[in-house]
């Protein structure tokens, strides 16, 4: 679709229809559980066909319940694909298979990540390498593998990195220097890839928007298992809303960035932290 035709199409249809992703194909990494699965569910609820990439061989009962709920309530689908984002050769093949089966790919959310809470003086080189291979290199390779397929099929779409407010600040009383640095790198990576891929080329390739979502502290079982109640209370009280986020509160942001509603949004970092970094 030529640029002017595309703009006319965007501006003349009902505004809320821009959030509709019926028939669009997405990949979400790190989507066997947690925030990744919640974001995948949100895209499927809006009509998308979503492939959940993660490392475990088979999804657990919670994931299967989510799949059934999406099928029965929304007549949509999520599919599971065993894929480690650090296995870059196979990652390219897995994304090619998804794109080939659907004659294209419309968007990717790179949510796969790990956390390690360790004072800086106690890190080993192996610790740093493992975290960066998953949190940064894995996200970078996910984006480039996806972009190749989007360009192959001339799909103008969206790529979103799940960064963190930890890429903007040093979290009070949370010893996560490598995690923080990796998330800061993702924010800059989004800007750099947006510069390369956002404009539409003469051959019809390009038009790939690249952005980040930077969540604040999210209420998860992992957070409650790792940190004391006193620390969790302190972090809750450190933002303007006085509480932690629920994973479901990020669904609409992901849908915005994956849909045509964000057609003029690229190279941006959407900070959703309850006001934590605003004061």
Distance (Å, rounded) from C-alpha 274 to C-alpha 246?
Answer: 11
Q: For residues 234 and 255, what is the distance between their CA atoms, to the nearest angstrom? A: 31
Query: Tokens 């009962």 appear where?
Result: 61
DSSP structure class, residue 246: P
Which token pair is 33? 């559980």
Beta-strand (E) ranges in 34-137? 49-54, 77-82, 107-110
> Quick check: is 183 catalytic?
yes
- Based on the residue annotation, tell me whether 80 is a catalytic residue of this protein: no
Q: Catalytic one among 183, 251, 256, 276?
A: 183
Helix (H) or strand (E) holding 20: none
Residue pair 255/46 in contact (Cβ under 8 Å)? The answer is yes
Which one of 51, 80, 179, 276 is the catalytic residue?
A: 179
Residue 79: what are its φ and ψ, rounded to 5°?
-125, 150
Query: Active-site residues: which are they?
Result: 179, 183
């Amino acid at each position: 679709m030529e640029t002017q035709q595309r703009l006319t199409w965007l501006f003349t249809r009902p505004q809320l229809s821009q959030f509709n992703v019926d028939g669009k194909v997405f990949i979400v990494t790190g989507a066997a559980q947690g925030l990744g699965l919640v974001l995948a569910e949100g895209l499927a609820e809006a009509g998308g066909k979503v492939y959940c990439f993660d490392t475990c061989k088979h999804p657990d009962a919670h994931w299967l319940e989510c799949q059934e709920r999406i099928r029965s309530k929304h007549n949509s689908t999520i599919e599971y694909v065993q894929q480690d984002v650090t296995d870059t050769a196979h990652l390219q093949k897995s994304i090619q298979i998804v794109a080939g089966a659907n004659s294209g790919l419309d968007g990717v959310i790179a949510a796969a990540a790990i956390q390690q809470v360790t004072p800086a003086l106690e890190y080993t080189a192996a610790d740093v390498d493992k975290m960066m291979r998953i949190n940064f290199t894995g996200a970078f390779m996910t984006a480039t593998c996806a972009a190749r397929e989007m360009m192959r099929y001339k799909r103008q779409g969206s790529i979103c990195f799940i960064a963190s407010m930890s890429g903007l600040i040093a979290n009070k009383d949370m010893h996560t220097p490598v995690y923080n640095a990796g998330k800061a790198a993702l924010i800059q990576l989004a800007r750099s890839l947006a510069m390369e891929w956002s404009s539409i080329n003469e051959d019809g390739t390009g038009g790939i928007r690249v952005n980040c979502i930077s969540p604040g502290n999210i209420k998860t079982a992992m957070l409650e298992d790792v940190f004391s109640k006193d620390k969790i209370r302190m972090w809750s009280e450190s933002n303007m809303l006085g509480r932690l986020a629920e994973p479901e509160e990020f669904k609409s942001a992901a849908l915005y960035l994956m849909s045509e509603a964000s057609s003029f949004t690229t190279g941006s970092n959407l900070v959703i932290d309850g006001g934590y970094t605003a004061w």
